[in-house]
Amino acid sequence: MSFKFTALSVDLAEDLLPLSAVLHQRGVPHRIFEESGRQVLKVDQASRIEDVTSLYEAWRSGQFKIELVKKEGSQNSPEFVSWRKAPVTLGLVVLSFCGFLLIYLNAPTQWLAQLTFTPFNTGPGGQVQFYPSSGEYWRLITPAFLHFGWLHIVFNSLWLWEFGARVEKVMGPANMLSLFLVIALVSNVAQFVFGGPGLFGGMSGVVYGLLGFAWVAGHLQPQWKIQPALAIMLFMVGWLVACILGVVSALGFGAIANAAHVGGLLCGAALGAAFGLLSRVTTK
């Protein structure tokens, strides 16, 4: 389409965006260019010039006002969340980095052994020996803070903030803390049940739990703008399937706690269904 008919020529400092929005709304094809130090609005037909100039003069004379209203983002739109609105999520990220540094800086084995799901010590030749715990209930949660490499901690922290901050902004710190505790417990127990005693850890199970929560709760309660974009959901599920099939381990990423991922995802989805349905019932 050729725009060769000049309808307006104004100073560069003048904001023609509101006028352009109205012209688009009325189906008037046009383009705005810069020519010879001026802002020029051109149309495709000479017959449209009078309509544009009349509308412009009426707007500038105050006969009507044009207000651009920012469209409220959809539930799939990315949204920056200030750390002040997500203190629990921020705290989880910080504690995760602390758990990573504990391993990265080669802290004493007995320190690490206090945070694993199953207590252990190292025997002759550095062989790891596990033994039963008694009454140490914090072990149901603390493995979530242990991370065994840079990729592990960075990947988990980014996704934890992406999902956790948005959920916490809507659900509040108390609910966010409760979600973390339940999902971490379920994902860690699932990994122990299906994988047996081992040095597993990481926030991945919680990340997948928050993903499941945000997807289901956001679907059932559209007022909560927490549902992730479909592309993100497909990527995360695809990554989970690749982990289960052994593709990720074969690429050199190490052992993957698949049971924790699946357990977290299912737990989060169940919690999302419960919270979402309860919200719909109570807001009717």
Say which of 30, 147, 152, 261 is annotated catalytic.
261
- Residues in the chain, how many? 284
CA distances from 129 to 113, 125, 126 (A): 11, 11, 9
Say which of 204, 219, 249, 279 is annotated catalytic.
204
261 as an active site residue: the answer is: yes
Q: Token pair 């030749």 is at which residue?
A: 125
d(CA 140, CA 156): 19
Whether 202 and 257 have beta carbons less than 8 Å apart is answered as yes
Classify 219 in phi/psi space as left (phi over 0), alpha (psi -120 to 50) or beta: alpha
Whether 209 and 183 have beta carbons less than 8 Å apart is answered as yes
* E-assigned strand segments in the chain: 5-11, 30-35, 38-43, 120-122, 128-130
219 as an active site residue: the answer is: no
CA distances from 218 to 23, 75, 204, 205, 222 (A): 36, 8, 21, 19, 5
Query: Which residues form the catalytic set?
Result: 204, 261
